[in-house]
Amino acid sequence: MRPLLGALAAGLDLVLPRSCAGCDRPGAVICPGCRVELARLALPDEGLLAPHPVPAAWPGCTGVLRYEGVAARLATEVKDGGRHDLVPPLGRLLAEALRRALRGRSPPRGGPVRLVPVPSAPAAVRSRGEAPMLVLTRVAARRLPGRVDVVPALRVVRRTRDQAGLTREERLANLHGAMHVGRPAAVRGRSCLLVDDVLTSGATLTEGRRALLDAGAERVDLAVLMVTPSRYRWGGQGSSLPFLAVSD
């Protein structure tokens, strides 16, 4: 039943007037007012981020937006609200996070960097269709100047509890061993960039990175679209974002 409803909803998108995914105002996918709000939520391009407390062996992470207000709503709408029209603008923003992560790096040994999206749970893929992070990562990859390969190497192999409300230690324990690389040859000896939508405690990225390193990845860096603000410190006023000037 779900796939049929999804197909119907996709068809209705073609005939119903569009509304802003951030505030429901009729018109653009992201209205001018929400774009201004997103610019206010932009993270300065000032190096790598870390959650507090910092997880063990945390390599640093790049991101572009604070996860609050309009930004948080967009993250929910693209993932759970069926707003596929958010994929192009959010993909452009994710590309900026990836660019920040890859900048200044010498060409990796063994071929192009592997972009590995954090996997969705199998039940979520069954109910929502293709994994949102995989779709967003593919769009972002096309906007990067050098060659990268999108490799959905990670799978969720163990059912986990909802992370909301858990302490950092509980999150780490909840997720440990939850992810697995199905074909280690896809990442063995490779430089990988693990990609997720929102960074909160770092437990999800820590588990994905562990699984990739266990499978033989040479190096695993981290990038996210958004960062939960209460756990981070940063200075500055935010930086300009490349998509704001681009109409969609």
* Residue number, 20 or 61, with CB nearest to Zn ion: 20
Q: Which is nearer to Zn ion, 34 or 49 (CB)?
A: 34
From 25-33, 39-47, 124-132, 206-214, span contacting Zn ion (CB under 5 A):
25-33
- Is 31 a binding residue for Zn ion by CB under 5 A? The answer is yes
- Give yes or no for residue 140 binding Zn ion (CB under 5 A): no
Question: What gap in Å lies between CA 17 and CA 148, rounded to an integer?
Answer: 36
34 binds Zn ion (CB under 5 A): yes
- Single out the segment in contact with Zn ion by CB under 5 A; choices: 20-28, 54-62, 92-100, 107-115: 20-28
Tell which one of 20, 175, 181, 226 touches Zn ion (CB under 5 A).
Answer: 20
When asked if residue 225 is in the footprint of Zn ion (CB under 5 A), the reply is no
Does 123 bind Zn ion (CB under 5 A)? Our answer is: no
Cβ atoms of residues 245 and 35 within 8 Å: no
Query: Rule CB under 5 A: is residue 74 a binding residue for Zn ion?
Result: no
Does the protein bind Zn ion through residue 49 (CB under 5 A)? no
Q: Which two tokens stand for residue 220?
A: 């695993």
Q: Taken in order 217, 221, 225, 228, is the CA torsion positive or negative?
A: positive
- The piece of 33-41, 59-67, 179-187, 219-227 that touches Zn ion (CB under 5 A) is 33-41
Beta strand residue intervals within 89-159, DSSP E: 113-117, 148-150, 154-156
Minimum separation from the CB atom of position 237 to Zn ion (A): 22
Which of the stretches 23-31, 153-161, 169-177, 212-220 binds Zn ion when contact is defined by CB under 5 A? 23-31
Place of tokens 């954090």: 118
Pairing of strands 154-156, 179-181: antiparallel
Confirm or reject binding of residue 192 to Zn ion (CB under 5 A): no
The length of the chain is 248
Q: Are the C-beta atoms of residues 205 and 104 closer than 8 Å to each other?
A: no
Interface with Zn ion, residue 172, by CB under 5 A: no
- Write the CB contacts of 179 (distance below 8 Å, at least 6 apart in sequence): 119, 154, 155, 156, 157, 207, 208, 210, 211
Alpha carbons within 13 A on the beta-carbon side of 214 = 15
**Closer to Zn ion by Cβ: residue 22 or 117:** 22
Nearest to 89 by CA among 107, 104, 70, 108: 70
Question: Cα 174–179–185 angle (5° rounding)?
Answer: 160
Q: Which of 5, 9, 23, 54 binds Zn ion (CB under 5 A)?
A: 23
Choices 34-42, 115-123, 156-164, 217-225; region in contact with Zn ion by CB under 5 A = 34-42
Question: Following CA atoms 76, 79, 82, 88 in sequence, which dihedral angle do they give, to the nearest 10 degrees?
Answer: 100
For the CB of residue 81, give the shortest distance to Zn ion in the complex, in Å. Answer: 14
Site residues, Zn ion (CB under 5 A): 20, 22-23, 25, 31, 34
